C-alpha cells in the first residue's frame, strides 16, 4: 500500500513538472485559476503555494523571474611546472 502511494505521488509530480515545461502559458493560467479558487474558499496558504511566479523578461515564454542567469564559467588556466 505504501509503495502505491509513493509511486502515485511520483507520477503526479512528474506529470505536473512536464506540464509546466511543455505548456508554460497554459500551466500559468491553470495554476492562477486554481489559486484564485482556493483564495475564494478561504484557503490562503494553499492559494499562495499554487500561485505561479510572475512572468518577466522575454515576453511570456514561460521562464519565471525567480530563475537566475547561468553562472559564468571560469577560465581554465594551465599548470606551470618548475
50, 31 in Cβ contact below 8 A?
A: yes
Taking 80 as the threshold, does the pLDDT of residue 65 lie above it?
no
User: Which residue in 25, 29, 11 sits closest to 63, CA to CA?
Assistant: 25
Q: What is the mean pLDDT of residues 9-32?
A: 93
Query: For position 67, what pLDDT does the model report?
Result: 57
Residue 35 lies in a domain: yes
Residue 46 lies in a domain: yes
Share of the chain above pLDDT 70, in %: 79
Report the distance separating Cα 30 and Cα 41, nearest Å: 17
Report the distance separating Cα 80 and Cα 8, nearest Å: 55
47, 53 in Cβ contact below 8 A?
A: no
51, 36 in Cβ contact below 8 A?
A: no
Residue 24 lies in a domain: yes
Q: What range defines the domain where residue 17 resides?
A: 2-50
User: Which residue in 18, 46, 47 sits closest to 35, CA to CA?
Assistant: 47
User: How much is the mean pLDDT over the chain?
Assistant: 83
Taking 60 as the threshold, does the pLDDT of residue 37 lie above it?
yes
| Bigger pLDDT: 79 vs 63 | 79
Domain count, the chain: 1
Amino acid at each position: 500500500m505504501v509503495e502505491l502511494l509513493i509511486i502515485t505521488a511520483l507520477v503526479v509530480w512528474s506529470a505536473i513538472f512536464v506540464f509546466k515545461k511543455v505548456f508554460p502559458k497554459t500551466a500559468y493560467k491553470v495554476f492562477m485559476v486554481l489559486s484564485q479558487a482556493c483564495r475564494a474558499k478561504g484557503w490562503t496558504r494553499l492559494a499562495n503555494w499554487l500561485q505561479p511566479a510572475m512572468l518577466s523578461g522575454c515576453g511570456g515564454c514561460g521562464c519565471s523571474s525567480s530563475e537566475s542567469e547561468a553562472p559564468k564559467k571560469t577560465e581554465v588556466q594551465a599548470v606551470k611546472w618548475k
